């Protein structure tokens, strides 16, 4: 069984340009590592949040030229910790890449500063709320096409990003494929966060018998966009081990991987799936 380890979730309040955000992001990451974290997780869109879809392509860089990615890789190497960059908005460098949309991509970085895994957000945040609040992530972002399990010194991490949290089947598939820890970096809005953030994060832990690490953006961003904060670290029984507030900072907790085996042994729901046949009854 893997040894216990310390995990930290950073929450920041990203502005719309990378350069002004980066020093604070590096400061928070370094502080979490200095506090003893073996694995530090950052939120979604850690380096910038641009509310104007038309400007996102202009602000994003190709992966090979992204200054935040380079700086955070170096930060992991200097700190000697693993780092999950919750996500960066990067230009697609692949052949035939979309010239109008970027990729919302998560990076797992090892203690030597090497990229271990990449995950492109599967479910895009296209929603409309009461009062006219709406988001159309698909206007500027190209969706990913696969789930990702990433190896770490402590076990397998199941990667996801923000709106993915509402799709329970993704986390069940990751857990059934071997994930012991689920990562949910986010920029959850204040409106949806207040209503759903905590219960959804805890539900994913309970359903799968997994630890869930959920760093979230916080505060007021450009053009009044608000994110909820309240980053969470939840154990496989659904107990909250640490919770942030609505200010920049980090939370941390000690993680015991043996608890995953213990809780899944008590309630082995991951092995109890049955085929679902939906029967429509009546004349409706």
Read off the CATH number of the domain in which 72 is found.
3.60.110.10
Considering the candidates 9, 13, 162, 218, report the single residue annotated as catalytic: 162
Containing structural domain, residue 182: 5-271
3-state DSSP call for residue 150? strand
The confidence score (pLDDT) of residue 108 equals 99
Contact 18, 223 (CB under 8 A): no
Q: Which of 9, 50, 81, 121 is catalytic?
A: 121
Alpha carbons 79 and 170: distance in angstroms, whole number: 32
Enclosing H/E stretch for 144: none
74 is catalytic: no
Q: Per-residue DSSP letters for 173-191?
A: HHHHTT-SEEE--B--BHH
State the pairing for strand pair 141-142/148-152. unpaired
User: Would you say residue 284 lies in a domain?
Assistant: no
Domain assignment of residue 282, yes or no: no
Q: Is residue 103 assigned to a domain?
A: yes
Query: Tokens representing 230?
Result: 């309240």
The answer to whether residue 255 sits within a structural domain is yes
Identify the active-site residue in 9, 13, 44, 137.
44
pLDDT tens figures, 96-117: 666 678 999 999 999 999 999 9
Q: Give me the pLDDT at residue 96, please.
A: 63
Question: Would 109 be classed as within a structural domain?
Answer: yes
**93 an active-site residue?**
no
Separation CA 140–CA 52 (nearest Å): 9
Q: Look up residue 135 and give its two tokens.
A: 């988001």
Domain count, the chain: 1
Please tell me the distance from the alpha carbon of residue 256 to that of residue 247, in angstroms, as a whole number. 28
Q: Does this model's pTM top 0.85?
A: yes
Active site residue 162: yes
pLDDT of res. 282: 87
């Amino acid at each position: 069984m893997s040894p216990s380890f310390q995990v930290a979730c950073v929450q920041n309040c990203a502005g719309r340009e990378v350069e002004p955000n980066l020093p604070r992001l590096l400061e928070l990451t370094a502080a979490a590592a200095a506090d003893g974290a073996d694995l530090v997780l950052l939120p979604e869109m850690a380096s910038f949040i641009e509310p104007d879809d038309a400007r996102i392509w202009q602000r994003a860089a190709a992966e090979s030229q992204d200054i935040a990615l380079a700086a955070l890789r170096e930060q992991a190497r200097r700190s000697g910790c693993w780092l999950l960059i919750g996500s960066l908005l990067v230009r697609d460098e692949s052949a035939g890449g979309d010239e109008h949309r970027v990729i919302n991509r998560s990076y797992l970085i090892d203690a030597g500063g090497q990229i271990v895994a990449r995950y492109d957000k599967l479910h895009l945040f296209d929603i409309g709320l009461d009062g006219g609040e709406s988001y159309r992530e698909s206007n500027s972002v190209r969706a990913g096409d696969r789930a990702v399990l990433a190896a770490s010194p402590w076990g397998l991490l199941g990667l996801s990003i923000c709106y993915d949290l509402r799709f329970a089947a993704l986390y069940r598939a990751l857990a059934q494929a071997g994930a012991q820890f689920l990562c949910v970096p986010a920029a959850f809005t204040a409106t949806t966060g207040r209503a759903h953030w905590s219960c959804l994060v805890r539900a994913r832990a309970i359903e799968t018998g997994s630890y869930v690490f959920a760093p979230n953006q916080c505060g007021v961003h450009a053009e009044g966009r608000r994110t909820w904060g309240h980053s969470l670290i939840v154990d496989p029984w659904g107990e909250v081990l640490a919770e942030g507030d609505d200010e920049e900072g980090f939370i941390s907790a000690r993680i015991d991987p043996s608890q995953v085996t213990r809780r899944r042994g008590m309630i082995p729901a991951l092995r109890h799936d049955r085929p679902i046949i939906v029967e429509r009854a009546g004349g409706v």
